[in-house]
Structure 1
Amino acid sequence: MADQEQIRFEALLCRALAAEKGAAFAFAVLPMEASALLPRRGRMTVDVTLAAHAFRVTLEPDGRGSHWLRLPESVLEASGNQAGETASFRLQPVDPEPDPELPADFAAALVEIPEARATWAAATPIARVDWIHWITTAKLEKTRAKRIRDACGMLASGKKRVCCFDASGIYSKAFSAPVPGPLPPKKRA
């Protein structure tokens, strides 16, 4: 984390109201001033330090011009922080952006279309992040399947970037940070 200046900020640690896939998780929303220092409004990988505990995470757009980040339970516990507290963070974008993990259903579709696979191979990691984000944010399985078919068609025609996709969620209102749940009772000292 030494090449670029780190972004420092404080944020409230929250627990998600609705547990995603049955698993509760902690998160923090970046203040607008901190998010404004980042190179993009969409998804991006960052190295984060919380109370001397470093980890790598993908920032998610909050649909309001900022980002939010999921906190690994192990880091939250090791840091000594808990939901309801304000914590100090340092973060730095990972440069270059790592290649995203390709979902199995999209990978299988790309195998079937050599032209799409060739364009995918020539796309930048950020473009790939946006393609995958567009596909994985479909709320219905049939929408996801259609997006995979559409992506393969666009890639086969030579499009390296997904069109008509607001990666920030600002204009489409497609993304938001999780809704904070009730705070746990304070531990007595």
Structure 2
Amino acid sequence: MPPASRSSAREPISFAAELCTIEDTVIVRLPQAASEQLPSRGQVAVQASLAGHRFDTVVEPDGRRGHWIRVDEALQRAAGVSPGDIAEASLHVVPDWPEPEVPDDLASALADAPAKIQDVWQDITPMARWEWVRWVQATANPQTRQRRVEVSLSKMDGGKRRPCCFDLASCTDPDLARSGKLREPS
């Protein structure tokens, strides 16, 4: 992801945290004091540093008034860290959100949608696109997910620019959450 074009005037949020695993996913849970410094209980766009490696990401809510960051294999290699390590991290809140990775089912539906819906998708902010992606992905049930793709297009066709039917502070990753709360590491 390219670096954000500008940083906010906020001071960096620095902390040390252990890389832990939930199922097959490696994450860093922010300490409560670090999470409390963020401007939102929901997602927050940041320029981050993990063990000295800089990257752009969106910090995710854990459903317990805290936050976490996914640490994929490429980031683990780049930062030289692995599960069980305690790593130094810092976050700089940024005003410019990175584009989300749009899942194939939603991307395909958007590509096949009428121009009016495509125009809404292009006109909304990256933050709003993150919210649509989160809402679509917040279920493990394939039928529910397909219905959410359809409802997303219908809502955009009706002029809606954001989904309005989920708690932005909940953990919406169905592989990592239970009842909107990030599960405990294994």
- What is the TM-score when the length of structure 2 is the normalising length? 0.79
CA deviation vs aligned residue, 1:95-136 (integer Å, no higher than 9, x gap): 310222222221222232322222222211111110110001
2:181 paired residue number: 176
* Greater C-alpha Rg: 1
Alignment of 1:133 onto 2:134: yes
SS of residue in 1 equivalent to 2:166: coil
* Corresponding residue number in structure 1 for 2:156: 155
Q: Is the 8 A contact 1:117 1:156 kept in 2?
A: no
For the residue of structure 2 that corresponds to 1:34, the secondary structure is helix
Contact map agreement 2:47 2:56 (CA 8 A) in 1: yes
Residue 56 (structure 1) shift:
2.7
Deviation at 1:156, TM superposition (A): 0.5
Measure how far apart 1:180 and its partner are.
Answer: 1.6
Deviations 1:65-85 (A, max 9, x none): 111112233544565544334
CA shift in 2, pair 1:56/1:174, >3 Å: farther
Residue matched to 1:90 = 90
Give 1:10 shift. 2.0
In the superposition, relative to structure 1, how do residues 113 and 44 fare at CA in structure 2: closer, same or farther (>3 Å)? farther
Counterpart position of 2:65: 65
**Structure 1 gap ranges (5+):** 20-24, 182-189
TM-score, with length taken from structure 1: 0.78
CA–CA separation in structure 2 for the residues paired with 1:80 and 1:151: 39
Match of 1:41 in 2: 41
Go from structure 1 to structure 2 and tell me whether the alpha carbon gap of 1:54 and 1:178 turns closer, same or farther (over 3 Å shift).
farther
**For structure 2, which runs of at least 5 residues remain unmatched after alignment?**
1-5, 172-177
CA distance, structure 1, for counterparts of residue 80 and residue 88 of structure 2: 12
Contact kept in structure 2, 1:115 and 1:157, CA below 8 Å: no
Aligned residues: 173
Percent identical residues: 35
Matched, 1:146 2:147: yes
2:119 — aligned with what? Answer: 118
Match of 1:11 in 2: 17
